[in-house]
């Protein structure tokens, strides 16, 4: 009996250790995702050198061939097949031929790209394209982390429908100044809330102020049309200079949604709701 008990306890201990290890790995990945701006899968080519002139070379600089780009900012363009210099935290596990997912921050630009490592995960080669699936998982986790942060910073999230679009009511709060080169050309959309996700009740109507100008400053901002449906992530208007709007003769809070990621399809409602928890 004692032997069986000891065996069962050992097995339970092993399972708990495995679960703890998985939780730790997930937490570490979340921290690396949050701290990184360039993430890619790559194969180490050389140690103690750099891929272009001007990068300070040390035993911690390695040259990596990019196998797959998972995420990068718009100002950076690296592609599969490019070579990148990585300043790593510890070069010992990153010998020539080793493949890893690198979580990095931009460092230097010149005839190439150099990055600083936040962390890495060694790739375990397996049949059936397991690494490709893992890269997709990391990409999805990255996108979810960014969207979660966006929701957390917002004042309001909702599933709804645009019931009207019209001229802004700014002039009722402040005199209209001269039109400038970067004038946003504000309009206001009234959105009827179908389901409140954050900071708003169902069936409420919300005023979202948006620019109509195609100036570079406003080019990527979402535009609204009557009948448009979707998920809207909004913040109180701190851009126009007036935090209020008029709706049906009443003064109400005015909101903005100025990034493409602030307006999503209705099919993203469940995802946004889960990330808002």
The C-alpha torsion from 70 through 73 and 75 to 78, rounded to 10°, is -10
Q: Does 98 lie in the same domain as 209?
A: no
Has residue 7 been placed in a domain?
no
Q: How does residue 177 score in pLDDT terms, banded at 50, 70 and 90? A: low
pLDDT exceeds 70 at position 23: no
Answer yes or no: is 136 within a domain. no
pTM of the entire predicted model: 0.67
Q: Give 217's contacts (C-beta < 8 A, 6+ positions apart).
A: 182, 184
The verdict on residue 265 lying in a domain is yes
Q: Are residues 267 and 162 in the same domain?
A: yes
Q: Are 232 and 157 in contact (CB under 8 A)?
A: yes
Nearest-angstrom CA–CA distance, 170 and 151:
26
| Band of pLDDT at residue 122, cut at 50, 70 and 90 | very high
* Residue numbers of the domain that contains 56: 35-124
- Identify which has the larger pLDDT, 138 or 196: 196
CATH of the domain at 264: 2.40.50.120
Indicate if the alpha-carbon torsion angle 225, 231, 236, 238 is positive or negative.
Answer: negative
Q: Is residue 141 part of a domain?
A: no
Domain boundary residue among 124, 141, 175? Answer: 124
Beta strand 263-264 with 229-236 is: antiparallel
Query: 103 and 169, same structural domain?
Result: no
Mean pLDDT of 95-111: 94
Both 111 and 159 in a single domain?
Answer: no
Cα(275)–Cα(151) distance, integer angstroms? 8
Residue 94 lies in a domain: yes
How much is the mean pLDDT over the chain? 87
On whether both 45 and 118 belong to a single domain, the answer is yes
Distance CA 206, CA 269 (A): 18
Query: Does the pLDDT of residue 80 top 50, yes or no?
Result: yes
Query: Of 135, 115, 116, whose CA–CA distance to 124 is shortest?
Result: 135
- Domain co-membership, 76 together with 169: no
> What pLDDT does residue 181 have?
64
Residues 193 and 257 in one domain: yes
Domain match, 114 and 159 both: no
DSSP 138-198: HHHHHHHHHHHHHHHH-SEEEEEEEEEEEE-SGGGTS------TT---EEEEEEEEEEEEE
Domain count, the chain: 2
Q: Give tens-digit pLDDT for 188-233.
A: 999 999 999 999 999 899 999 999 998 888 988 999 999 999 999 9
Average pLDDT over residues 249-262: 95
């Amino acid at each position: 009996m004692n032997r069986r008990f000891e065996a069962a306890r050992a097995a339970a201990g092993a399972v708990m250790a495995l679960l703890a290890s998985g939780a730790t790995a997930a937490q570490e990945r979340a921290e690396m995702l949050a701290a990184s701006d360039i993430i890619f899968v790559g194969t180490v080519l050389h140690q103690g050198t750099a891929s272009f002139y001007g990068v300070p070379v040390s035993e911690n600089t390695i040259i990596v061939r990019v196998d797959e780009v998972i995420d990068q900012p718009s100002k950076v363009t690296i592609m599969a097949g490019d070579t990148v210099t990585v300043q790593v935290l510890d070069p010992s596990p990153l010998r020539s031929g080793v493949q890893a997912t690198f979580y990095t921050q931009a460092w230097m630009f010149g005839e190439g790209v150099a990055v600083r490592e936040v962390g890495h995960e060694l790739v375990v080669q397996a049949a059936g394209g397991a690494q490709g699936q893992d890269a997709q998982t990391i990409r999805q986790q990255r996108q979810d982390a960014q969207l979660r942060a966006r929701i957390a910073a917002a004042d309001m999230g909702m599933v709804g429908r645009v019931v009207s679009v019209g001229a802004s009511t700014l002039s009722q709060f402040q005199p209209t100044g001269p039109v400038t080169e970067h004038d946003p050309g504000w309009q206001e959309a009234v959105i009827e809330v179908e389901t409140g996700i954050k900071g708003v009740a169902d069936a409420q109507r919300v005023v979202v102020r948006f620019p109509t100008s195609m100036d570079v400053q406003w080019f990527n901002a979402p535009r609204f049309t009557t009948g448009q449906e979707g998920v809207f992530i909004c913040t109180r208007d701190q851009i126009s200079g007036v935090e209020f709007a008029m709706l049906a003769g009443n003064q109400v809070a005015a909101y903005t949604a100025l990034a493409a990621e602030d307006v999503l399809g209705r099919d993203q409602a469940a995802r946004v709701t889960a990330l808002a928890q």
